[in-house]
Amino acid sequence: MKDPLKVFTGTANPELAAAVCKDLDIPLGRAQTSTFSNDNLFVQIEENVRERDCFVIQPLRTSANIVELLLMLDALRSASAKRISAVIPYYSYARSDKKDMPRISIAARLIADLLVTAGANRILTMTLHSDQVQGFFSVPCDHLAPTPLFCQYFQQWDLTNFTVLAPDAGSAKRAGSFASRLNLPLGFVDKRRVSDTRVEVRSVVGEVKGKHVIIFDDEIAAAGSLAENVKALQAFGAADIYAGATHGVLSGPASERIMELPVKQVVVTDTLAIPPAKRIPKLSVLSVAPLFAEAIKRIHTGESVSEMFE
């Protein structure tokens, strides 16, 4: 790499940042985040970054994660960093990408604007809920996909009599790429979202009777959608059921629901830190550190990121 780059991390997923730096063979940048008694955050970059190419790794799971990232970007800008890239493995509020109800905020666009205002010169993220969110940024945005990781994992299996299922029509393109790489048929679920935690399944499009099914989604939050999809697959005569998703949000009762579901295995990545209490026996976690390390190296050296997936 032409000039030493700097990689920093917030407090949301320092394990992932450490793994990325290990793959890059560089030390993790020194930074400090602390909280005042009034819950305000304090961020300080603890090394020289003048005219350096800096990357900040921070998934946006909570509002505090967002504020911390904004402060880190602003601190790097004030310290005269040459270029600042916000590496956001999980971009929260990505579901809020349109005005589908009266008098609501398009939060995905708002967060994008805040990141650029705080000092981000470019964005690196993974599996946005809607591809159109990539266009909300007024700076370059590289959008990674973990599909090669999932394919490498599932290719170790005997995939005879398997099919891939998109959890809704909007996910068909993402699941289709996964199915195409594995040379498997694709189906999708016709469903309607009733609320944040409840969906209604109308039908399953595609042949699933007697088939082993892999449900491929962008994230598993409370696992309500997964539960409804599994119920529908059982009604349509599916055999063994598996699930794969980029982001293991696993909020609320997700872990308990998954343990109760007739699902053989759920595979997610480490874009979000998964606490030990939620690492249930059915859960397998793939590391995205090699993908992010390679993308960061390519951005730093001016190489193509899209070629990683060709």
**Do 5-145+289-309 and 147-286 agree at the fold level?**
yes
| Residue 307 per-residue DSSP state | G
Is 2 an active-site residue? no
pLDDT of residue 192: 66
Q: How far apart are CA 58 and CA 68, in angstroms?
A: 9
Residue linked to tokens 């700097």: 6
pLDDT value at residue 199: 63
Walk along the chain (310 residues) and give the pLDDT tens digit of each residue. Answer: 456 899 999 999 999 999 999 999 999 999 999 999 999 999 999 999 999 999 999 999 999 999 999 999 999 999 999 999 999 999 999 989 998 889 999 999 999 999 999 999 999 999 998 888 999 999 999 999 999 999 999 999 999 999 999 998 888 899 999 999 999 999 998 876 666 556 666 678 889 999 999 999 999 999 998 999 999 999 999 999 999 999 999 999 999 999 999 999 999 999 999 999 999 999 999 999 999 999 999 999 999 999 998 7
- Amino acid (1-letter code) at residue 213: V
- In sequence order, the β-bridge partners of residue 86 are 56, 123
pLDDT of residue 3: 64
Closest listed residue to residue 308, CA positions, set 287, 283, 291, 289: 291
Helices vs. strands in the chain: H and E counts, helices first? 8, 14
- Second-level CATH architecture of 147-286: 3-Layer(aba) Sandwich (3.40)
Contacts of 246 (CB under 8 A, 6+ apart): 126, 127, 146, 217, 218, 219, 268, 269, 271
- Which pLDDT does position 195 carry in this prediction? 62
User: Residue 194's pLDDT is what?
Assistant: 61
User: Strands 241-248 and 212-220: what pairing?
Assistant: parallel
Neighbouring residues of 154: CB distance < 8 A, sequence distance ≥ 6: 182, 214, 244, 267
pLDDT at 1: 46
Please provide the size of the chain in residues. Answer: 310
Domain residue spans of the chain: 5-145+289-309, 147-286
From its phi and psi, is residue 207 left (phi > 0), alpha (psi between -120 and 50) or beta? Answer: beta
Q: Which of 257, 285, 282 is CA-nearest to residue 271? A: 285
Catalytic residue among 191, 209, 231, 278: 191
b (16+ CB within 10 A) / e for 179-202: bebbebebbbbebeeeeeeebebe
CATH class name, domain 5-145+289-309: alpha beta
